[in-house]
Amino acid sequence: MSDVLLAAEVSAADKPTPILFTGDNGEFRRLVTRGALLELVTAGFYRFWLATHMRRYLWSSTVIGGDALEYVGTARELLFGFFFALVILAPVYIAYLVVGLEAERAKAFASLPLGLFFAAFGQFAIYRARRYRLNRSSWRGLRFGMSGSGLGYMLRALGWGALIAVTLGLALPWAEAALERYKMRNTYYGALEGDFVGRGGDFFKRAGWIWFTALILLLSPYVIGAVFRGPIWILAGVIYVFGAPSLFAAFKAEQWRWWLRGLRLGGVRLETNLTMTALLGNYFVFLGVTIGVLIAAAIVFGIVVAMNRNAMVGTTPPIGVLIPIGLAYVATFLSIGVALRIFLMQRVWKLVASSVVVHGLAEAEDVATRASVAPSAIGEGFADSLDVVGF
C-alpha cells in the first residue's frame, strides 16, 4: 500500500470515501494465464488454487478508506467443499442418466423434475457460496459474516422463480429485492447489521424499458421477416449483435446501481456513478477478443485440413491431423476462458469498485467483533464452498 492511499483516507464523519481499485491488469492477466495452463496439466484440480488466488488479488486490490479487503479463504477448503458436493451430486447424475434413458419417449416430462432439482440445488449453493465468501472476507482485521439458512433461501428463490416464469420476467425486480433482503438481513460486519433497502418498484421503473426493448428485439426479426423478403435478415443479425450486448450492459448497469445503493451495513451506505457505456465498452472488447480467437482457430483448422488433404483416406482423419486440431481446440478453450476471467470478472470488478463512494464509513471505524462468532471459521462446514461445482 502506498502513502498516496493513506493520504486519501478520510476520517471526517460525513465526507464520502471513494473505493480505490489498485490492482494491476497485467498481474491478473499473468495470474489467469498461468492458472489456465496449470489447470490443464492438473486435470482441473488447480482451479481451487486459481479461484483463491484470483479472489486474493481482487480483494486485496480493493481499498476502502485506506485499507484493503483481505480474502482469508484457502484452496484446501474449496477442495474439501468440492469433495462434499461430489458425494451429493454423483448419485444424482447417475439417477439423471437412468431416468433420462428409461423415459426416452417422454423425455420432456422426465427431465422436468430433475431440472427442478438442479435449479433448487443451485439456489442453495448460491446462498452457501455467498456465505462462505463473506465469511472469508475481512477488512481492518474483522471479518464479514452471514447467518440464515440456505434451505430457507432455496424455498424463497423457488417461489419467486415460479412467479418470474409466470410473469415472463416482469416479477424479476421484486424477486431480486426480496431475495437480496433475505441475504443482507442475515449479513453482518462485526456488530454492524446488514440490510437491503432497494425496492422492486424502483428497479422496475429504471429497468422496465429494457424488458420491453428486449421483447421488441426478440420479435423484430419475425416482424421484419413477415413484412420484407430477402437480405433484410442481415439487418436483424446486426440488430442482435449490437442490440443484445447493449441491452445486457444497460441491464447490468441498472442492476449494479440499484443493488449498490440499496446495501446497508449499519449506517454505512454506498453511492455509485457506474455508467452503462463503461460496462458496454468492456463487453464489446470481450466479444471482439472471443470472435478473434474463434477466427484464429478456424484458420488453423482450415490450414491443417488443407495441408493434409491427400493424407485423408477413409473416414477417420489421421493422427497427424487430429493432434494439431486437438491442440488448436484446447488453445481456443483456454484463451476464451482467460478472456472470460479477465473481462467478465476482473474488469467488471474494477469498473464497479472504482465507481463506488462510501457514506458514513466513520461508523465502521471501531466495530467490535460479534460475541457469537467463533474467530475460526474453518469448521464452518465443507458445503460452504459449493460455489465451485459450476452452478
Partner 1 sequence: MSAEPQPGALNDDAVIFFDGWSSRKRRVELRFGAMLEIVQNGATLASWPYDDIRRIEAPGFALRRETAAAGELARLELHDPRLHNEIIARCGFLGGRVRPGANRALLYWSLAATASVVGLVWFGIPFAADRIAPLVPPAFERRLGEAAEAQLRAIFSAEPCHAENGAGALAQLSARLQSRAALEQPARIEILRSSVPNALALPGGKIYVFSGLLTRAETPDEVAGVVAHEIGHLRHRDAMRKLIATGGTSYLIGLLFGDVTGAGALVFASKALIGAAYSREAEAQADAFAAELMARLGRPAKPLGDLLTRVAGKENGAFGLLHDHPLTADRLAALAAADKSERGPPLLDDENWAALKTICEKVDVKPEAAR
- Quickly list H helices, 186-231: 200-227
d(CA 59, CA 71): 6
Number of residues engaging partner 1 in binding (CB under 8 A): 72
d(CA 8, CA 15): 12
Considering only residues 225 to 254 of the shown chain, the ones binding partner 1 according to CB under 8 A are none
Stretch of 36-44, 152-160, 221-229, 261-269 lying at the interface with partner 1 (CB under 8 A): 36-44
Q: Does position 108 bind partner 1 by CB under 8 A?
A: no
d(CA 90, CA 84): 10
| Residue selected from 47, 181, 347, 350 as contacting partner 1 according to rule CB under 8 A | 47
d(CA 10, CA 99): 61
Q: Does position 289 bind partner 1 by CB under 8 A?
A: no
| Residue selected from 101, 162, 232, 294 as contacting partner 1 according to rule CB under 8 A | 101
**Residues 6+ positions from 147 with CB-CB distance below 8 Å:** 186, 188
Q: Does position 43 bind partner 1 by CB under 8 A?
A: yes
**Residues 6+ positions from 199 with CB-CB distance below 8 Å:** 177, 262
DSSP notation for 227-288: H--STHHHHHHHHHHHHHHHHHHHHHHHHHHHHHHHEEETTEEEEE---HHHHHHHHHHHHH
Considering only residues 306 to 345 of the shown chain, the ones binding partner 1 according to CB under 8 A are 308-309, 312-317, 319, 321-323, 326-327, 329-330, 333-334, 336-337, 340
CB of 23 to partner 1, least distance (A): 8
CB of 52 to partner 1, least distance (A): 10
Give the amino acid at 194.
G
Stretch of 216-224, 231-239, 305-313, 346-354 lying at the interface with partner 1 (CB under 8 A): 305-313
C-beta separation of 71 from 59 below 8 A: yes
d(CA 368, CA 359): 20
| Residue selected from 17, 28, 39, 236 as contacting partner 1 according to rule CB under 8 A | 39
Looking at the Cβ atoms of 38 and 120, the one nearer to partner 1 is 38
Looking at the Cβ atoms of 40 and 114, the one nearer to partner 1 is 40
Looking at the Cβ atoms of 75 and 217, the one nearer to partner 1 is 75
Cell of 172: 424479476
Q: Does position 353 bind partner 1 by CB under 8 A?
A: no
Q: Does position 6 bind partner 1 by CB under 8 A?
A: yes
Looking at the Cβ atoms of 47 and 181, the one nearer to partner 1 is 47
Q: Does position 1 bind partner 1 by CB under 8 A?
A: yes
Q: Cα–Cα distances in Å, from 209 out to 67, 144, 149, 168?
A: 39, 36, 34, 14
C-beta separation of 161 from 119 below 8 A: yes
CB of 354 to partner 1, least distance (A): 16
Q: Does position 86 bind partner 1 by CB under 8 A?
A: yes
Cell of 229: 423478403
d(CA 100, CA 320): 38
Q: Does position 22 bind partner 1 by CB under 8 A?
A: yes
C-beta separation of 129 from 387 below 8 A: yes
Q: Does position 79 bind partner 1 by CB under 8 A?
A: no
Considering only residues 167 to 206 of the shown chain, the ones binding partner 1 according to CB under 8 A are 189-190
Considering only residues 358 to 377 of the shown chain, the ones binding partner 1 according to CB under 8 A are 364-369, 375-376
Cell of 88: 451429493
CB of 335 to partner 1, least distance (A): 10
Give the amino acid at 318.
P
Q: Does position 219 bind partner 1 by CB under 8 A?
A: no
**Residues 6+ positions from 36 with CB-CB distance below 8 Å:** 50, 334, 337, 338
CB of 160 to partner 1, least distance (A): 26
Q: Does position 303 bind partner 1 by CB under 8 A?
A: no
Instruction: Name the strand (E) or helix (H) holding 143.
Output: strand 142-146
Q: Does position 126 bind partner 1 by CB under 8 A?
A: no
Q: Does position 389 bind partner 1 by CB under 8 A?
A: yes
